[in-house]
Amino acid sequence: MDIVTAHDRPSTPQEAIGIQETLRDLVELEDRCPQEIVTVTGLDVAYDEDSGLIAAAAVTLEIDGFRVVEKRTVVSRISFPYEPGLFAFRELPPLLDALRALDHVPDLLICDGHGLAHPRRFGLACHVGVVTGLPSVGVGKTRFVGEHDEPGSERGSRTPLLDDGDVVGAVLRTQDGVKPLYVSVGHKISLDNACRQVLRLCPAFRQPETTRQADRLARDALKEAL
């Protein structure tokens, strides 16, 4: 799989912030994904700070039935320090290597993280979407920025996630009575469509099936490397 927009790896947090602010203008917030989404790739990483290793996983599923189309893992050294708001620069290098190894280009990317719900409106989902040119969605388990009301207790209930008066995402209940997820646009998809696709990927569990499988695969790859 080709990477559309490459950039140099930053050596300082200031350089990383500059890259985010430059690429942010390339984010598209309207639906430009296929009318019928068939394949979705889940992206996740696992860390071992003691050894300095990071494992990245990309798992492509058919959205109907969740058949695994293909999966790839990459284990490498952590190449960027821990900096809130700059996680993408730790996670993106191995994730992009895993994506490059895919034989098929998916219709949609689902990231375990945030998109517009980020202090500079350019979280991991925006970053990976812009550099690959693919529609992408961020799905976070916890809030990073913003405020919100509690959504209803029923599956599918949602409330807007607001930051400085901007709608940066949605707080979405994916199963009756469970904690909601934080869904935000990454690239080339609307928030309504992003929530619709996340619900399709959560028929029985709180997290999307893509995230569940990518998380497991990344942890297994890291364990094997150790």
Residue-range domains of the chain with CATH: 13-225 (3.30.2170.10)
Give CA separation, 73 vs 46, 92, 97, 112, 219, in Å. Answer: 11, 13, 8, 15, 10
What does the pLDDT read at residue 4? Answer: 64
Low-confidence ranges of the chain (pLDDT < 70): 4-6
What does the pLDDT read at residue 62? Answer: 97
What does the pLDDT read at residue 63? Answer: 95
pTM, whole model, 2 decimals? Answer: 0.95
**Residue 226 Cα to chain centre, angstroms:** 25
Task: Give every CB contact of residue 107 below 8 A, 6+ residues apart in sequence.
Answer: 33, 34, 37, 38, 39, 40, 135
What does the pLDDT read at residue 35? Answer: 87
What does the pLDDT read at residue 5? Answer: 63
Q: Position of tokens 């990231």?
A: 111
